[in-house]
Amino acid sequence: MKKILILMIACLAYCQVRAQEYSQVQQLISREFPFLKGKIQFRKIAIKDKGDAFRLYQHGSSLLIEANTVSAAAYAVNYYLKNYGHMSLSHYGDNIKSIAKLPAVPDAVSVNTPFQIRYALNYCTYNYTYSFYNWKDWERELDWMALNGVNTMLAPIGTEKVWQKMLTNLGYTDKEVRAYIPGPGFNAWWLMGNMEGWGGSVSDGMINKWVLLQQKILKRMKELGIQPVLQAFTGLVPDNLAVKYPKAKIIRQGKWAGGFQRPAFLAPSDSLFIKMARQYYSEMKALYGNDIHYFGGDLFHEGGKATGIDVPVAAGDIQKIMQQYYPNSTWVLQGWQDNPRKELLAGLKKENVLILDLKGEEFNEWESRNAFEGTPYVWASVNDWGGKITMIGDLKRLVSEPHRAYASAQGKWMKGIGIIPESITANPVAFDLALQTAWSEPGTDMENVIKKYISYRYGAYNKDVDEGWRLLLNSLYGVTDSKGAEAIFCARPSENVTNTSTWGSDSIQYDAQKPVRALMLFRKAATRFQNSATYKIDMVDLARQVMSNQGRIVYANCMKAYKAKDVKTYQKWRDLFLQMIRLQNELLNTEPNFMLGPWLEQAKAYGITPEDKKLCEWNARVQITYWGPDYNPNTDLHEYANKEWGGMLDSFYLPRWEMFFQELNNRLKGQSATTVDYFTFEKNWAWQQNSYPTKGTGSYLTEVDRVIKLISQ
């Protein structure tokens, strides 16, 4: 009897220890779903040959989740809430309701993923979304990542401190160091080797803030089973390093988009490279620890020069010193444009390389390059450019193409699925389905996917909403060209506007009447979902997109009349165009997710000193307007991150169009007209410090009805 008792105690203690391995998932539940606290039990199990996996069981009045990893356990919670509770979290609102009794799981459920890696984030996400995130924001973000099964994530915050210490040791003055480090709205392009210093200079307080934030982020990521990808030393150095070290082999990299000076490239064969790499990784270890398995960093990103460089040897040397400081680490490279070059990959140990095939929603680089010449890779999608809020995506491709890639001859090199958005807020359905695909079976029925999505997005299924979503699936959410139809309201005015940003689409590439019909169906079902925050957000977004699309037609008619000198017709279309901008502003001011105020207030709150706060706000304003640099009025980056937001429309876009039409009015009257200096207006707006509302006002249904009435004329 004594032996049995000892055995029972030992078994109980063993189970308790194994359950405690998922204590961080229980803490996640307490943060995001406090009503579930104590109602879900976890058990760690070994499931062989199936990758990450979990099982769901009804266990009396509780739910039992068996899982073989922390990531699988966290995803299982989300899977349960979506499929049985009809609830969900997103960057565009939550559909969560407190419940006293758990929804039943009638039969045991087993789910697994063959994909070792579920990757998240683009360098650009760290500015178009995360520029001014504090720890509270990051807690929520990391919970969202874990709940969606992400187990590998880019995490480059705090690299600034590493460079500050290293450059100081190399003889740089404090002023010179700050001239190299960018402002909080532009870190991404510095890390990618596109620019240096723009948006600065930042204070010591800001640099130290990033260090503390990164340390918290890394700790939480590891607790949630998410491997961080930190920044590697790839030989990118300040352009002026050649002045201080004239004998070093340093290749200047020229200019990047808009005219920005790129960092130079220090040849890995040079002794200075070895010295800097050692300092870099030593500082990285001191600040962020030894337990890092992935490093990102690209050579010749969107340009650059390799003149005089033996690229295979240089790449091999970069990898070797990375391995020296972090043995068996993996170099993560972006599959973007011509990168990574074939000759670069030829110099690497491919078992320590991971390529992110960035634009899988549109191209098949993994196929055309034969899995990047036989290199481990992740199939990934971008689906957002510059944080623009255009409704766009190819949802059918997102859920089918990864499985096709995995089943192909190149599938043996495919290690996972990822989302690499430039911003992660708009089009939540795209990111939801992309990450869900890692855990789904091939041949998923899209009709069933959308039905389920409606249920957990809004809390209940509805036939009219389903019909509306099918129209969206076959129009704006069925477009392979991921650039989307940008809002012409946000364009810098001219007589011949085609695309709002330099690389934006110049046309609507779907039947624009289908979103109109979808809006009517959403409006029809609005009473059923009157208490749903997510339904409100999606209907406002859809009404915005419909109005935006209509704006292109009105603009074209207006310019046609102007060029024909048909004054009366021109005035009619001009007035309607301006009316549409004002109405769009009022519509979007009903919902904080589509308002300028929250972005600017977040920026101001991020700064530590009054000077920091002013700099942060300026970064926030510049990024979403002319972008930079401020000496080039024709920068091809202007409007790249345009925001069709309430507050933005009436304070920035509307005044530009009013100036434009005044110029045309004068010309039609035969008066001399001065060409409008939009660039000066844009720079002046960026330096303003006035506040905008952060809470929605008015009735969104009233504004949607006004939109429907206007487009029906």
pLDDT tens-place string over residues 563-575 = 999 999 999 999 9
Predicted confidence (pLDDT) at residue 593 exceeds the cutoff of 90: yes
* Helix H or strand E segment including 77: helix 70-83
Under 8 Å between Cβ of 75 and 149: yes
pLDDT for position 672: 84
Domain with CATH 3.30.379.10 in the chain: 16-111
CATH 1.20.120.670: which residues of the chain? 473-711
* Mean pLDDT, range 167-179, rounded to an integer: 97
Q: What is the pLDDT of residue 47?
A: 82
- Tokens 């790499």, residue located: 277
Q: Is 156 a residue whose pLDDT tops 70?
A: yes
Residue 19 pLDDT: 54
DSSP assignment of 120-138 equals E--TTHHHHTTTT--HHHH
Please report the pLDDT score of residue 482 as a whole number.
66
The CATH topology of domain 473-711 is Four Helix Bundle (Hemerythrin (Met), subunit A) (1.20.120)
Q: Is 559 a residue whose pLDDT tops 70?
A: yes
Residue 462's pLDDT is 98
Q: What is the pTM of this model?
A: 0.96
- pLDDT score, position 6: 44
Q: How far apart are CA 454 and CA 120, in angstroms?
A: 24
Q: Which of 39-53, 423-437, 539-553 has the lowest mean pLDDT?
A: 39-53
- State residue 20's pLDDT score: 72
Taking residues 60-81, report their average pLDDT.
97
Confidence grade of residue 670 (pLDDT, cut at 50, 70, 90):
very high
Q: Is 380 exposed, middle or buried (0-12, 13-18, 19+ CB in 10 A)?
A: buried
pLDDT digits (tens, 9 = 90+) for 97-121: 999 999 999 999 999 999 999 999 9
Q: What is the pLDDT of residues 672-693, one digit of tens each?
A: 878 999 999 999 999 999 999 9
pLDDT at 17 over 50: no
Q: Any bridge partners for residue 257, and if so which?
A: none
* CA–CA separation, 416 and 117 (whole Å): 4
Q: Tokens for 515, please give them.
A: 């979103």
Q: Tell me 675's DSSP state.
A: P
pLDDT at site 10 = 41
Tell me the pLDDT tens digit for each residue of 298-345: 999 999 899 999 999 999 999 999 999 999 999 999 999 889 999 999
CB 305 within 8 A of CB 271: no
Q: With 60 as the cut, is the pLDDT of residue 13 above it?
A: no
Residue 582: how many other CB atoms lie within 10 Å: 12
pLDDT class of 636 with cuts at 50, 70, 90: very high
> What's the pLDDT tens digit per position in 225-234?
999 999 999 9
Which pLDDT value is given to residue 484?
A: 78
Mean pLDDT over the full length of the chain? 95
Provide the CATH number for the domain formed by 16-111 in this structure. Answer: 3.30.379.10
Q: How far is Cα 12 from Cα 397, in angstroms, rounded to an integer?
A: 47
- pLDDT value at 389 more than 50: yes
